[in-house]
Structure 1
Amino acid sequence: MNPTVLRHYATDVIDAIWHVIGAVNIRAKILGIVLGLVTLMGIVVTIEVRLLLEHTLTNQAYERSTAIARDVAARATDLVLMRDYYGLFRLLRDTQVNNPDLRYAFVMDSEGTIIAHTFGAGFPPNLRDANTVTANEHHRSVLLTTDEGEIWDTAVPIFDGRAGIARVGLSLVTREQTVAAMTGQLLLTTMMVAAVGITAAALLTWILTRPILQLVELTQAVARGDFNRRASRWANDELGALIEAFNAMSEALAQAAQERTEREQMQTQFVAQVIAAQEEERKRIARELHDSTGQALTSLLIGLRSLAERHHSPDINRQINDLRGIVGQVLKDLHGLARQLRPSVLDDLGLAAALQRYIAECRARSGLIIDLTLPGLADSRLDPVLETALYRIVQEALTNVIRHANATTASVVIERQSDQVRAIIEDDGCGFDPNRVSGDGHLGLQGIRERAALLNGRLIIESTPGHGTTLYIELPLPVAKEEVDEHHSVGR
């Protein structure tokens, strides 16, 4: 054929193909490109993985065949020398049972006579000469092709060949099954990826238009918290209705953000008032105990001492001294109760000092070994409401440990982070099942959970019967007033 004519023919064919491709809409083009790339990549990856997996499994079968044959040769040495053919048969049978893909195993003596094998229906006639090994060789493996598939036949000399040869045949059927399963999985994955790719390409064609891109941009602005931007409606079709709905949604989100901020402020104020009222009541009770009841007990001590000075009877003085001891102990307990109700050191020196003093008292009172770690709190103060809540949480948790856990050691860690305070309280006591926490038996835990919830925090309990308990309490730091005002200005 004339080269010029051939060139014109090729040009016409290319033009015809390009004309057909150009007539296809852009959605079909993108779908075709994605489907073609995914299919091509899936086929290439499937072929490469199949070849690599087949090579790897073949080498693994070769190494297993060698290891099994050497193990059989080592264990068969004494049996061959003692002519214990029954023991030799049992060795081969146990080896085959422990290795399900072992097709056969047999032992030949130094004369080449088969003295033990695992073939129940008779030894195959051509198998003996299919592989051999000399006394100087470590082993020799041959890949045999049979009607049952490929088999690694490995021969190993026994006692340097003077006692015979041990041979095993490891079937590669597992390799074929694994490769076939992996190939099917890769093909299935390719089809799934193709489906995902087609879906993604279809979605991509829709976002190529100007209104959709504009909505995407505005959506990203809303995700950043900017509710002030609005999309302009450019048509009266479905996209125009979508833009109107989007604008309405932005307005609703802006109003909801403002209401949520105000609600969070009100909740914070309410929680502060509740906790302040509780602590104020504790202060009042502590003052009453100290000023009224404490003074009455002190007056009683003075009266008992005066009574003892006026009477010189040994029996009466002994009874008075006993009463003075009881009153003194009650007064001491009363002072301790007043300090527990509201420790003045919490107001004066802060959470770190209050916890250090409280834990020292717990150590002295209970004999429990308690470690206290306060990273980030030694030289700084927290919000008073937060300090009070953390103090009460630690107080309640350690009270539970002392009363119920039968523990010998405990630890308290309170760490101040960038946006929250995290408390970890751990003991080595008897533990319990957190899924069976009941209202009556675990009032302390309920109190801790309620305090954390009031401050928008959370309590996580990790415990196992017999292995101790760990409490994780996370409380968010209060938002500064400047940040709240700035958030209000953005929402408006």
Structure 2
Amino acid sequence: MRWVDKFHINQKIFGAIIIALLFLASILGYIIWESLTNMMTDELKKRGLTIANTIAASSSDYILTDDYYATYMLITQAQQADEDVRYILIINNNHGLVSHTFAGDIPKGIIRAHVPDAFNRSNVETLTSNEGRIHDVLVPIEEGDIGFVRVGMTEKQAKSYIMKKIGKLIVATILVCIGAAGIAYLVTRIITKPINRLVRVALGISAGKLSLRAKVSSNDDVGKLTQAFNEMADNLISSNKEVEALLDELRDKDRQRDTLILKLISAQEDERKRISRELHDETSQALTSLIVTMRVMADEAKDAEQHELLTTSRDIAAGILREMRDLAVELRPPILDDMGLIPAMRKHVSKFEEKYGINVSMTVPNECVSIESHIAVALYRILQEGLTNIVKHTAATHADVHMEVGLQTISVIIHDNGHGIEQEDLEKARQQNRIGIQGMRERALLLGGTFQIEKSEDGGTEVKVSIPLKSPNRGGADGNDNENNVG
């Protein structure tokens, strides 16, 4: 019944009234038909009995005297006097046919179709023929001693009369339905007018016209509904204002949070740069001086034991110096500031392959593109964290790094052939407060970009980062607005 929902409420009410009227008319028509049919049947039987009794009383002498002509004329005149009489038969006490009103031969089997009972009483039998039902009335002549009279009363004329009356009833019913339909239409329009008006106001409010209100034109249920709707609309406006205020406050807090994170990342990069510079300029020089001093002392050692001890200490200091320089580069690679993002990425990938034995294929653009320095730092840090995650979590043996520079954005994709990351892994990392993936996402989002990590079709993990070339927050990632050449 879902198709009913497509109609308007006034159409539903109108349709229900029309269906009810048609149903009522059908029931009344059936009752009238049955009543008229029963009355007609009873009337035919009564007239048949009257005609049969009259003929039985008048034909006894004709039968006893074998006056067949008089008998025939008697039943013929009786048939012509009533158009509902289909036939009249006179049968003697031996069940032999004396006379009949059929124009030709009598129908086969009609003699035996209705025979008297054992008591020779008057009775009626309903016969079925190709002309319809015929009520065969049997009346004994002189209590059956002489014979019987049978009068066949047909329903044809009566049915025709009933059909004419039913036809007039149908026409009257149609006229009544038309009048009732007009009245029903007016009534439904009156009933549904305020509802339709309320619907239009509701649609207008849903479209954003919050100032619309429905007119209260009555104190009935619809009027109360309209009043409640207007109050709900007022409450909706009040709630929307509160929600807007909360949203503005939330946006302001988000902006403050983004600013604080940007300043934190900026301070972090500045501190990394300072520590890297101090490690490179001061600590490395001090270690270099110590190594030179120990080499001179080893050359001037008086015995082999002192020489061995100084040589071993020099080698340890040299190893510390190399690790210190590597740490300084990890904190802030000078090549990133001096030569640009792509050379820095290539150098990091080379050291990564050398350190962990994982083959990395790198695809970068050939042309030189100028980008802001803090964007270059963000992409470099995301590359560092992405390759580190490959070592820690994916058990991969190969990785691909792809960079693409468009008209508006710069994108980096890191893909490996490991077992891939699942949604459960991301949820577990969030619950354990791992900041690696979240840090990459924050760096991308703070610069107005997008970050996505998912399991690729071939089973590995794929990290996709896209950042606008002109970020909405300048000078955030490394504390300056310098430009960095890509390529």
Q: TM-score range by the shorter chain?
A: 0.3 to 0.5
Q: Which structure would you say has the larger RCO, counting Cα contacts within 8 Å and 6 or more residues apart? A: 2
Using the size of structure 2 for normalisation, the TM-score is: 0.47
Using the size of structure 1 for normalisation, the TM-score is: 0.46
